[in-house]
Amino acid sequence: MPKQKKHEKKKFVKKVKKEKAKPRTDALASSTSGKKTYNLLRGMHDVLPREEKYWKNLYHTAENLAEHFQFNRLETPLLEEANLFIRSIGRGTDVVDKEMYVFEDRDGAKVALRPEGTASIVRAYIMHGMWNQPQPTKLWYWGPMFRHERPQAGRFRQHTQVGFETIGDADPVADAELILLAHNFYKDMGLPVEIHINSIGTLEERQKYKTSLVEYYRSKRSYLCDDCKQRLNKNPLRLLDCKQEKCQPIKEDAPQIIDWLEDESKNHFTKVLEYLDELNVPYVLRGTLVRGLDYYTRTVFEVYPQTEGEGGAQSALGGGGRYDLLVEEMGGRPTPAAGFSVGIERAVSALKQYMDANQIKPPAKKFDAFMAQLGEQAKRRSLKILNELRLSGLKIDYNFSKNSLKAQLEAANSLQVPYALILGQKEVQDGTIIIRDMESGVQEIIDQKKTENTLKKKLSRFDEEKKK
Ligand code: HAM
């Protein structure tokens, strides 16, 4: 190994050791037994069972839309060559410069935990020759992303995204279709949102715009916050993302990229907006929207909770845009593309806030019946009956750790199931089972073999009654 490299490796190992010495967790480990327990790393979070209903709902919403809009699922690994992200997202962006989890693996390869999905999708598109198939190629994904950001509300070091990418279509209708998809996603999950949209033109147009932006900001340098002074040299477009109060008036008067667009980009953007009007998808034109990743060209958009307005850039629920140069940049043929992704943690949290504020109850987990049992023999038989009912498509809850009938019926009550099935010693011997109507308390003894049919009949009558 060359001397220089060896030295670097040593440094890397040293750094890892140093960090190991003081694990950074969100809270101090504690336990009532006095034994050491473990906490989460900073910025990490568990998705608890009580959140599950929201996550499942969102996944189904995404899956349904993907099917409807003809996107195929593509799963890529969490770990990729670090350069894939460095080249696509770009040096000078926060994601690459400050937030990526990059390390050397045991073979000495520089790898990164994916901070986003688009670069990996483009890598896979090129690698698997998807450009050989009829275009566009429409792909979707769902999974964890990693960014070593300063943790705060709605900002995690591991978060989950669902993303949609249309590769091989330059038509503005593809942009509009993706924005429609984003609009439908939030609409289907029941969250009112605002879609902010802008065009950042081609590379050349943006270059000219950057020159005028830098010129303008240089003339105001002494009034800028420290971050913006740095942005001015490193990545001037990020100046438009600044949230500091003192920079807001400067931002408001800054030149707007839309004035630097040539006819082709202007026409492209106008068409996107016309399609959205046609589709009745509301949007807010936002001249300062530029996005935080380098690969975008022309259309860019972001989604915010409806109440938040333009100021809430920290809490964008989702975002995306066109990236016509990325496939070529990654070694493929020149191929136009566009896409977007949604942050699931932020979507769930915004939905919960909205439901709380409007007193909307979360969807209850729906079971068809509760199986209550008394005694060892009944427990065994219940297991068998439960499995048969599950195979027949019925959803039955149960709790084998509760042995008293009263406690089991209470559990059934709190689940708001319409029926309880009760099996005791006598029923096991007689080959019967009791069906209890939970609302009226009326009980009926039936032949065990008829459980599925009787329950299904009662449930369909119950559903009919509910509809009336
Ligand atoms: P992004 O805007 O960097 O875009 O991330 C997409 C969404 O992921 C954000 O709007 C936000 O909801 C969520 N998100 C990002 N970082 C965090 C975090 N630290 N904690 C919680 N949620 C977060 C992209 O990643 C692009 N790949 C989108 C795209 C797809 N563009 C074209 N195709």
Tens digit of each residue's pLDDT (9 = 90 or more) over 307-325: 654 444 458 999 999 999 9
Q: What is the pLDDT of residue 468?
A: 74
CA distance 12 to 70: 45
| Per-residue pLDDT tens over the stretch 407-460 | 999 999 988 899 999 999 999 999 999 999 999 999 999 999 999 999 999 999
Rounded to whole angstroms, the Cα distance separating 260 from 206 reads 8
pLDDT at 23 over 70: no
Nearest Cα residue to 111 out of 90, 147, 85? 85
Contacts of 126 (CB under 8 A, 6+ apart): 327, 330, 331, 332
Which of 356, 315, 304 is CA-nearest to residue 154? 315
Whole-angstrom distance, CA of residue 374 vs CA of residue 421: 11
Counting residues of the chain whose pLDDT is more than 70, the rounded percentage is 91
CB-count burial class (<10 Å; 0-12, 13-18, 19+) for 19: exposed
Choose between 237 and 308: higher pLDDT.
Answer: 237
Q: Terminus-to-terminus CA distance in the chain, angstroms?
A: 79
- pLDDT category at 238 given cuts 50, 70, 90 is confident
Mean pLDDT along residues 342-364: 91
> How do residues 336-350 score in pLDDT, each as one tens digit?
999 999 999 999 999
pLDDT tops 60 at residue 21 = no
Residue 206 has pLDDT above 70, yes or no: yes
Give the ligand 1 atom nearest the CA of 303. Answer: 10
Residue nearest ligand 1's atom 9 by CA: 318
For residue 17, the model assigns a pLDDT of 46
What mean pLDDT is reported for the chain? 90
Three-state secondary structure call for residue 454: helix
Given a cut of 70, whether residue 269 has pLDDT beyond it is: yes
Best of 152, 346, 351 to mutate for ligand 1, by most ligand atoms within 8 A of CB? 346
Q: Separation of 430 CA from ligand 1 center, angstroms?
A: 61
Give per-residue pLDDT as tens, 78-113: 999 999 999 999 887 889 989 999 999 999 999 999
Residue of 58, 118, 161, 344 to test ligand 1 pocket, by largest number of atoms within 8 Å of CB: 161
**What's the pLDDT band for 362 if we cut at 50, 70, 90?**
confident
Distances (CA, A) of 177 to 66, 181, 273, 275: 12, 6, 11, 9
Which of 16-30, 136-150, 359-373, 407-421 is the most confident on average?
136-150
Q: If you average pLDDT over residues 198-204, what whole number do you get? A: 96
Q: Does 6 score more than 70 pLDDT?
A: no
Mean pLDDT of the region 29-57: 87
CA of 319 to the centre of ligand 1 (A): 6
- pLDDT at residue 77, as a whole number: 98
Q: How far is CA 447 from CA 90, 374, 432, 444, in A?
A: 69, 18, 4, 10
